[in-house]
Structure 1
Amino acid sequence: MGKKKQDLQKVVEKAIAQQKVPHVKFKGIDPQDIDIARLTKPSKETRQERWGKGLTLLAIGLIGILIVAIIGFVGLRGLATFFADRVNVFHFLFTTDWNPSAGKEHVGAAAMIVTSFAVTLLAALLATPFSIAVALFMTEYESGRKVRLLQSVMELLVGIPSVVYGFLGLTVIVPAVRKIFGGTGFGILTATLILFVMVLPTITSLTVDAFKAVPKELRKSSAALGATQWQTIFHVVLRAARARIMTAVIFGMARAFGEALAVQMAIGNAVLMPANLVSPAATLTSQLTSQMGNTVMGTLPNNALWSLALLLLVMSLVFNFLVHLIGKKS
């Protein structure tokens, strides 16, 4: 380190002695006045850069540890059903008899899996056309005050707690479905209508971003060729934004698939293969929330519920993989 300071001292002395830049006044400066230690010491900005980088890496490391811990814990508890309790995986996935307290022959989650996918797909199919229509209105037809009003409504829908949606479904939608279609009013249809309202803001917001990302030059080029506004929207904007729209739909499906409380209050919580849209049923999340507090850690009923949680985690990873795959192709 001492040799480096001496070399730097020589460079400074040479620069002062041979300076040829007229507007820089080095003359009158004694080379001995140059603080070499200060020149070699990290500046305040450099220290701040190092601190910032260190804190960022620490935060990333903590998040990584948290994710690995969650996946590892859920994975270990969920796989205990198959390794410790010797439940057959295919029996778990493809049979409908769900009563873990009666033994490993009664651990079949097929009815809940089918119901979860049915509710998710129906909610997405119902919400997507409305979301696209609202997004087109906000980006292609209107601007200013009306758009800000709609944006405020979407933000309000996002901020409403799940229990409020469930309570509204229990007091409004369930009696309406019972009156119109008969039965108890609980079932896939009621849960779908609730999830439709819950996923609508998510799909709409992402679809708005998708339409805004379409270059204005494409719209102008279409208009220059004589296309009407609707022709431009249908043949240009929707085609250019379809990958992002699919991403929005998948995010909405992930939101619907993982919803627990609102669905639990409206679907009936009967672990049966759904015969129709108005018969009581149960999803993975509704069974988890209603039964986890009634089991003992380490027993077969508890391990079976952890297996449902593991299945939910796997589906979340699948949804995220699909989003990345669509984004990469687009």
Structure 2
Amino acid sequence: MSENALKWTEQAAHKAKPRSKIKIERRGKIITFICIALMAVVAASIFVFVASKGLSTFFVNHASVLEFFTGKDWEPGKTNAAGKPMVGALPMIFGSFAVTFLAAIICAPLAIGGAMFMTEISAKAGQKILQPVIELLVGIPSVVYGFIGLSAVVPFIREHISGSGFGIAAGTVVLAIMILPTMMSLSVDAIRAVPDSLREASLALGATRWQTIYKVVLRTARPGILTAVIFGMARAFGEALAVQMVIGNSAVIPKSLFEPASTLTSILTMGMGNTVMGSVENNALWTLALILLLMSLVFIIIVRFIGRRRNV
């Protein structure tokens, strides 16, 4: 059908509608547009507000951008020899990326393996056993994860490995458990989206069950699985309370995984309520919040890029 014929058909159908239905349709479009516009305005307002507060560290308090990202001394209330605030955020940035990547490295194989079991190996047992466990883990609050880590993980590391128990290792274990349901649920959806015709074709050509899973199913579902991993990393990077309870909250770069460290979120939650709005300390914390916001945008861009390549 040509474009002109299609337009004529749509116009004829539009004219054939009763006026009451046309009004309802227009009203629905207006309400939908208002909701979308409101969401866009709120998101833009949040970004502008956080950016204005975060950039005040550099434009109002005249802190050095290079010193902020490479410095190791986090004492916003003091100044260095050049008279600039001592806001070296490298230890917190290092801690956030360390616990995020380590948690993803530990969690990704477990999540993918669990998803394979639930979809390809034993779907009935997976639905009866793993699905309720995943739903239970999703519903547990962050503070409970932190308390479990404080009561079990930290003492275990202290007694059987070394150090005080607080550090990146404890934070990594807690985060790996927290992001496991997210990664596994999204991985299950990605594997289930693989057409059954591909599995049947692989088996018909003589491939074994494991060859079909590894060379056909997982490769086809790879973009979706990568999206699951990125979503899990985004959850881990922004987690605050659970990590704060087990990481030690020391603004230094640790020499091992079993020494106290800190993350962007842990320093934020500890310091935001103890600073005065507009002070150097408060502006420095808003700069950490701006970094978290920008990293969230980076994760979203990566997910959209992977999704776009999957649809090509």
- Distance in 2 of aligned mates of 1:166 and 1:309: 21
- Distance in 2 of aligned mates of 1:42 and 1:234: 56
Asked if the contact 2:119/2:126 (under 8 Å) is kept, the reply is no
Matched, 1:134 2:134: no
Q: Which residue does the alignment assign to 2:244?
A: 264
- Distance in 2 of aligned mates of 1:306 and 1:41: 54
- Distance in 2 of aligned mates of 1:224 and 1:41: 52
Task: Calculate the aligned-residue CA RMSD, in Å.
Answer: 1.4
1:228-260 per-residue CA deviation (whole Å, 9 max, x = no partner) reads 100101111111111111111000000000000
Comparing 307-316 with 136-145, greater Cα deviation is found at 136-145
**What is the Cα deviation at residue 42 of structure 1?**
5.2
Query: Closer, same or farther in 2 for the Cα pair 1:40/1:189, shift >3 Å?
Result: closer
Matched, 1:239 2:215: no
Q: Which residue does the alignment assign to 1:13?
A: none
1:123 corresponds, among 103, 106, 130, to 103
2:67 corresponds, among 88, 91, 94, to 91
Asked if the contact 2:57/2:283 (under 8 Å) is kept, the reply is yes
What amino acid maps onto 1:102 in structure 2? K
2:77 is paired with a residue whose SS is helix
What amino acid maps onto 1:308 in structure 2? L
**What is the Cα deviation at residue 263 of structure 1?**
0.2
Matched, 1:54 2:34: no
**What is the Cα deviation at residue 47 of structure 1?**
2.0
1:284-307 per-residue CA deviation (whole Å, 9 max, x = no partner) reads 000000011110000100000000
**What is the Cα deviation at residue 105 of structure 1?**
4.0
Asked if the contact 2:118/2:124 (under 8 Å) is kept, the reply is no
1:227 corresponds, among 203, 207, 211, to 207
**What is the Cα deviation at residue 52 of structure 1?**
1.3
1:100 is paired with a residue whose SS is strand
- Distance in 2 of aligned mates of 1:280 and 1:43: 69
1:72 is paired with a residue whose SS is helix
**What is the Cα deviation at residue 55 of structure 1?**
1.1
Matched, 1:325 2:305: yes
2:23 is paired with a residue whose SS is helix
Comparing 285-294 with 148-157, greater Cα deviation is found at 148-157
1:236 is paired with a residue whose SS is helix
Q: Which residue does the alignment assign to 2:50?
A: 74
Q: Mark the runs of 5 or more structure 2 residues left unpaired by the alignment.
A: 1-14
**What is the Cα deviation at residue 41 of structure 1?**
9.8
2:255 is paired with a residue whose SS is coil
What amino acid maps onto 1:93 in structure 2? F
- Distance in 1 of aligned mates of 2:193 and 2:85: 53
Q: Which residue does the alignment assign to 1:311?
A: 291
1:206 corresponds, among 183, 186, 189, to 186
Asked if the contact 2:61/2:85 (under 8 Å) is kept, the reply is no
**What is the Cα deviation at residue 149 of structure 1?**
3.3
Count of paired positions: 292
1:141-186 per-residue CA deviation (whole Å, 9 max, x = no partner) reads 1223541432121111111100000011111111001011121100
Query: How high is the TM-score relative to the length of structure 2?
Result: 0.91
Q: Which residue does the alignment assign to 1:17?
A: none
Q: Which residue does the alignment assign to 1:5?
A: none
**What is the Cα deviation at residue 318 of structure 1?**
0.4
Matches within 5 A, 1:141-290: 141-144=121-124, 146-290=126-270
- Distance in 2 of aligned mates of 1:145 and 1:95: 52
- Distance in 1 of aligned mates of 2:234 and 2:215: 29
What amino acid maps onto 1:85 in structure 2? N
Matched, 1:295 2:275: yes
- Distance in 1 of aligned mates of 2:241 and 2:27: 42
1:176-210 per-residue CA deviation (whole Å, 9 max, x = no partner) reads 01011121100000000000110000000110011
Q: Which residue does the alignment assign to 1:63?
A: 39
- Distance in 2 of aligned mates of 1:324 and 1:146: 29
Larger gyration radius, structure 1 or structure 2 = 1
1:99 is paired with a residue whose SS is strand
